Amino acid sequence: MLARLKRMVARLRAWFHASELDSDLDEELNSHLAMLTEDHIRAGMSPEQAQRAARLELGGLTQISEEHRAVRGVPFFDTLLQDLRYSFRTLRRDAGFTTFAILVVGLGIGASATVFSVVDALLIRPLPFSEPGRLVWIANDGQEGDLSGQTVTVGSHIDLRDQAHSFSDIAAYFAFYGDGDKKMTGAGEPERLTGVPVSQNLFPLLGIQPQLGRIFTAGECQGDLPVVILSGGFWRTRLASDPHIVGRTLTLNDRAVTVIGVMPSSFDFSSVFAPGSRIDLFVPLPLTAEVDREGNTLSMIGRLKPDVTLRQAQAEASLLSEPIRIRHNRGDLRFKLSPLEEHVRGRLRPALFVLACAVAVVMLIVCANLSNLQLARTASRRREMAIRIALGAGRGRLIRQLLTESVVLSCAAAVLGLLLAIVGTRVLAHLDALSLPLRESVHVDLGALAFTLLIAVLTGLIFGLLPAFQAPSAAIHDSLKDSNRGSSDGKHHAWVRSTLVVSEIAFACVLLVGAGLLIRSFLRVLDVNLGFRPEKAAAMRVDPSPRYNTRALRNAYFDEVLRLAKSVPGIEAAGLTDVLPLGHNRSWTAGAKDQVYSVAHPPPDEFVRIVSDGYLKSMGIALVAGRDLTPSDDASGKPVMLINETLAHILWPGRSAIGRTMQVDVDREVVGVVGDVRHLALEQGSGCEMYLPIRQTDDYALVDLVVRTSLPPAALAPAVRSALRHIDPNLPGNEFRTLQQLVDKSVSPRRFVVLLLGGFAAFALVLAALGIYGVVAYAVNQRTHEIGIRMALGASAQDLQARIVLQTLALAAVGMLVGVAASWLLTRALTGLLFGVTATDPVAFLGMLVILTSVAAVAGYLPARRASRIDPMMALRAN
Amino acid sequence: MAESKSDILQGTLDLMVLKTLDAMGPLHGYGIARRIEQISEETLLVNQGTIYLCLVRLVQKGWIRAEWGTSENNRKAKFYSISKSGRKQLIAETENWERVAGVIGRLLQLGTRR
């Protein structure tokens, strides 16, 4: 064992000192010769005879030193170096092919490496917390998208935390923090910041240390104390990484708060828990009775004890939920546990899986394409091969050399691919309009580098294998005969190349169908009736400042805001709301007064919107029956409300809802029925909705002004802002959003997948077209002679063209047949991503057939046209 | 390359070189080749150059050492001598050889009795 190791080291060293050792051996052999000759002379030979005999006995000097080199060094390296040198030379000579190959493979590898980096960051890399595998998301088992249904009260949280034994700790954050809740003034332009109230134990539970200062103390989390922890990103971008920030104060919502700490940049709360938004601050979450009265508001994260499984913890939590529910008199409480990992990433998995498969298919097409090109090249390099064989190169050596060439090619392409991946991931990480969790952490890391290298070598081997094994046998057939025409020699060859093209077409088929289905779904989603009209509408935060401390003062403020907004030229309607579509949602439970509810027949859950008069008009929500709210629906007026059609139908099926009474916060009369709004997501129905007048309640956390304009909304921002400056000089300027932006953000993940898959499909289509063109053009080239004869015998140009195009289409048809069958099976994996189309959507399949057929026809027509222009005399004379 | 012959006899050649160096002390390549030729009656070495392939292998394994020196008739030559681990190897190889030879011998005798 030791001897073998020693020898390995010695061989490596010998390889590096080859020339030194060569001369050493030379000298040794010379002295050997001399001694042998002397002995022969001593035995009575003449000097000439002795020398000759000595040479014979010793053996060929060149041969000995060659074998010596092989025994003492690493012959593998020698061959490799030779092959590399040779590859570089041939590739440089064939610059056109090399450029094309590097481009195609580079694009493929770039796409693969990018998708790998995305999948790695979004799915594989552990969450950036300590022992993330033991973290669980503890939700209430409510409706998806309804935050109230998935959160719990402070009381329930405390009870579970204190009673459950499965967890080493349970922390919470306030899920109803509003984007831009904290208005920062006194440091340049007023600005809206987003702060999340977190429980004292959240950071220790996640295992995150502040990079500056400290975290909240238990005392600070008792009441609403003026302390704040900054997110790393906010500290870096807004405060220029001020190292002395701890202890300083910021003015938030007109109140001085002290900065006590800064979290590390690596801890990106929003990218894990609130993708697509930005979190600037963390404030203490007081677990008090006051917050408890706000109802279901907390999202919980627990850390399992080391020996407890998720199933055990779930069993315990389920057991505890009923007593806790009764103790706090809640209508709904069922703890539902899932691994935090799953909560953050589960949704992404199907889409990313599809993308990964798609990119693998693209790589296969790239390989098939390159294989085909290499085959064509080796065909034209037969003479070179034959000469090398004649000079004594073994078949293995030739194969090795050709494989080296392929790998060199794909490694060069990998450099290009890596550059593309670096650019691609950087763009992606900074694409703020795309709401995907953990998106910011996408980058090319060591893993991606290793992956790229691996895929480069693999690609080179795969696309090089077939041509490499074809080449030497072809060379042996023809040896050095000067015949390059032969209509019979390429039979096998042509078959291999056709098979490659057929598989390319089949792969492209699958990608095109997949992309087609997703594009159709995307269009269907965009086509959905939202229930509101996002175009030409915009929203702006106008929270009343704390100094409007009575309802009357606030109502006067709202009147003024609406009056000023409407006075801006170009504004057609203005209204207020506490929640915009496609953002947070909260729900209450409320029933009709004229109905009896029981445990078996509970009152429905309704999404709550607190709105003003003019909101329906500015949003473009349809009023189906009754009337809109008016400014007189205020504190002094009768409590009223609007409901949506779904709720009206559930409460009073077949009867008019107008004039009926619902028990909400107080008894309210239904004065209008409005159309359903897709508030949760474009793909999701609206559920029950109710609208309460903002002048009759205080139960809202923030206020958005929605305006409808006849001008492009973005152009209006300065006018609206300056109009509102009259009542609030500190109005921040960073919160003017068009409703279209909200819609775009909501569909951004889907758009992302569609764009990528569409890109892959287009790339595949181009490659398939090139593959078809290559094969047909090559065949035409090979058959010049035959075509010449046919033309001489009277075949017309049209005949010939039709014949070649038909042959091409036959090839494409075989590919499409295989492709359709494969798509039929594979697109089922897409089902979860589809909307409004089935996995076997005939339009997508037919569309693919039309596109591929026409592409194949064009790819076949070009060489066909060239063939029909062959001059028969020239073709026949050429041989 | 007389691949088959040197393959079969490679281990044997190693053993012979080790034994020669052990018995006769430091020797140059020519001397070793001569010695082996004498003993094997020229059946082992196709040509004397082959000995150097064996020698470099043994040096790399650390079983023998090489050093430039001067021969008896004042010629510069590389001298090989057996190392400590080479001696150990020689003992092991010898035992192994004898055991195999014994087994083969008995086996062949079985054959002749039939």
Helix (H), strand (E), coil (C) string for A412-457: HHHHHHHHHHHHHHHHHHCCCCCCCCCHHHCCCCHHHHHHHHHHHH
Give the pLDDT confidence of A726-767 residue by residue, as tens digits: 777 766 655 678 888 888 888 888 888 888 889 899 998 988
Say if residue A659 is exposed, middle or buried (CB neighbours under 10 Å; 0-12, 13-18, 19+).
exposed
- C-beta of residue A211 within 8 angstroms of C-beta of residue A232: yes
CB contact under 8 A, B60 and A7: yes
Tokens matching residue B26: 């430091």
Q: Check whether A251 has a pLDDT greater than 80.
A: yes
Q: Are A746 and A344 in contact (CB under 8 A)?
A: no
Percent of chain A topping pLDDT 70: 96
Q: Which residue pairs, CB below 8 angstroms and at least 24 apart, start in A207-211?
A: A207/A129, A207/A130, A207/A131, A208/A129, A208/A130, A208/A263, A208/A264, A208/A267, A209/A264, A210/A261, A210/A262, A210/A263, A210/A264, A211/A262, A211/A263, A211/A264, A211/A265
Q: Which of A130-139, A241-250, A706-715 has the lowest mean pLDDT?
A: A706-715
The 10s digit of each residue's pLDDT in B23-64 is 988 988 888 888 888 877 666 666 788 888 888 888 988 899
Give whole-number Cα distances, B20 to A58, A127, A708, B89, in Å. 20, 67, 104, 14
HSE value, Cβ hemisphere, 13 Å, CA-based, for A773: 14
Q: Residues of A with CB below 8 A from B57's CB? A: 7, 71-72
Chain A residues touching B28 at Cβ < 8 A: 31-32, 35
Exposed / middle / buried, residue A362 (Cβ in 10 Å: 0-12, 13-18, 19+): buried
- Tokens standing for residue A378: 């080796």
Residues 6+ apart with CB under 8 A from A549: none
CB burial class (10 A; 0-12, 13-18, 19+) of residue A398? buried
- Kindly report the number of other CB atoms within 10 A of residue A879's CB atom: 10
**Cβ–Cβ below 8 Å for A3 and B76:** no
Whether A527 has its CB under 8 Å from any CB of chain B: the answer is no
How many CB atoms neighbour CB A341 within 10 A? Answer: 16
Q: Please tell me if residue B69 touches chain A, with a CB cutoff of 8 Å.
A: no
CB A755 within 8 A of CB A463: no
- pLDDT of B1 over the 60 cut: no
Report the C-alpha gap between A14 and A17 in whole angstroms: 5
In angstroms, what separates the C-alpha of A15 from chain B's closest C-alpha?
12
Query: Is the Cα dihedral A364, A368, A369, A371 positive or negative?
Result: positive
A29 vs B30: CA distance, rounded Å? 9
**Does an H or E element contain A860, and which?**
helix A842-868
Nearest residue in chain A measured CA to CA from B58:
A7
CB of B85 within 8 Å of a chain A CB? The answer is yes
Put simply, whether B11 touches A (Cβ < 8 Å) is no
* CA-based nearest residue to A154, from A131, A141, A172, A140: A172
**What is the tens place of the pLDDT at every residue in A602-613?**
888 888 999 999
pLDDT at A415 over 90: yes
Chain A residue with the nearest C-alpha to that of B79: A28
Q: E-strand spans in A249-381?
A: 249-252, 255-262, 281-284, 298-304, 335-339
Q: How confident is the model at residue A138 (pLDDT cuts 50, 70, 90)?
A: very high
> Of A145 and A25, which is predicted with more confidence?
A25
In sequence order, the 6+-apart residues with CB closer than 8 A to the CB of A435 are A275, A276, A277, A745, A746, A748, A749
Q: CB within 8 A of B7, min separation 6: which ones?
A: none
Name the nearest CA neighbour of A812 among A778, A771, A782: A771
Strands (E), A651-736: 661-663, 667-674, 689-693, 704-709
- A17-21, A297-301, A321-325, A724-728: least confident range: A724-728
Q: CA-nearest residue of chain A to B75?
A: A31
Whether A394 and chain B come into contact, CB under 8 Å, resolves to no
Number of inter-chain CB pairs under 8 A, A vs B: 81
Q: Looking at the predicted structure, is the pLDDT value of residue B10 above 70?
A: no
CA A123 to chain centre: 10
Given a cut of 70, is residue A352 above it in pLDDT?
Answer: yes
- Give yes or no for a contact between A595 and A663, defined as CB atoms under 8 angstroms apart: no
A758 or B8: which carries more pLDDT confidence? Answer: A758
Contact between A35 and B71 using a beta-carbon 8 Å cutoff: yes
Nearest CA in chain B to A14: B60
Of residues A91 and A108, more confidently modeled: A108
Give chain A positions within 8 Å (CB) of B53: 64, 67-68, 71
Q: Please give the backbone phi and psi of residue A44, each rounded to the nearest 5 degrees, phi first.
A: 110, 10
Statement: residue A723 has pLDDT above 60? yes
The verdict on a CB contact (< 8 Å) between B49 and A36 is no
Compute the Cα dihedral for A118, A124, A125, A127 and give only its sign: positive
Residue with tokens 């209508």: A331
Distance in angstroms (rounded) separating the CA atoms of residues A804 and A858: 11
* Dist. CA A281–CA A235, nearest whole Å: 9
Q: What is the CA A406 to chain-centroid distance, rounded?
A: 30
Q: Hey, is the C-beta of B104 within 8 angstroms of any chain A C-beta?
A: no
Beta carbons of B61 and A28 less than 8 Å apart: no
A68 vs B46, B52, B76: nearest CB: B52
How large is the greatest C-alpha to C-alpha distance in chain B, in angstroms?
A: 59
Chain A residues in contact with B52 by the CB 8 A cut-off are 25, 28-29, 64, 68
